[in-house]
Amino acid sequence: MTGKQGRLHVIAGCMSSGKTGELIRLLSRHRVIGDEIVIYKHQVDSRDGDKARSRLGTEMGAVVVSDASEITQGPCRVVAVEEAQFFGENLIDVVRDLLGNGCQVYVTGLNQDFRGEPFSIMPALMSLADELSLLTAICQKCHGVATRTQRIIDGEPASWDSPTILVGGGDFYEARCPDCHQVPGRPS
């Protein structure tokens, strides 16, 4: 490495906002100039196996890990972490170590859970970011600007006391604007 501090770019937003597509676009620029790249994803995200795949079908190979401690730089100057909300607090230290080694680090994740609350370690990573891309989607109810992720169970909005993590895509989640987002049983 060059001895220079690395840079962290966090790509956050709701479901269907294009986080993975944006990550692949940015990593492709590095690939064009010959940078070695590695993408890590948590094993809890069993969608797409060992691929980081956007809803539009673009994809790159990924290394599946069970814990942030398995994330290493290896020979790569560019390290990406998909769906960071699935990792524990130790991802923050791993990211700091990568940055200290001069890596360009990209992290994607949901900034809010299905309740509309800050999701896991994403707020901490967003606060460390040198660059932040906060993406939106189109509300699947009113076609407005979606910033929330609506969980749907048996055709109805999931209740507040549902488990925080339920891995899925369009089968369980919709992009919603704040007006259309519903969480039955939300404490007042």
For residue 61, the cross-strand partners are: 51
* DSSP code per residue over 130-184: SEEEEE-EE-TTT-SEE-EEEEEETTEEPPTTS-S----STTTEEEE-TTT---T
What are the phi and psi torsion angles at 151 (to 5°)? Answer: -90, 135
Q: Whose CA is closest to 16, among 154, 123, 140, 164?
A: 140
Known active-site residue 83: yes
End-to-end CA distance of the chain: 51
CA distance 41 to 49: 10
- Of 22, 82, 83, 174, the catalytic one is 83
Measuring CA to CA, how many Å separate 45 from each of 5, 11, 80, 84, 114? 30, 17, 15, 10, 16
Q: Which residues are catalytic?
A: 83
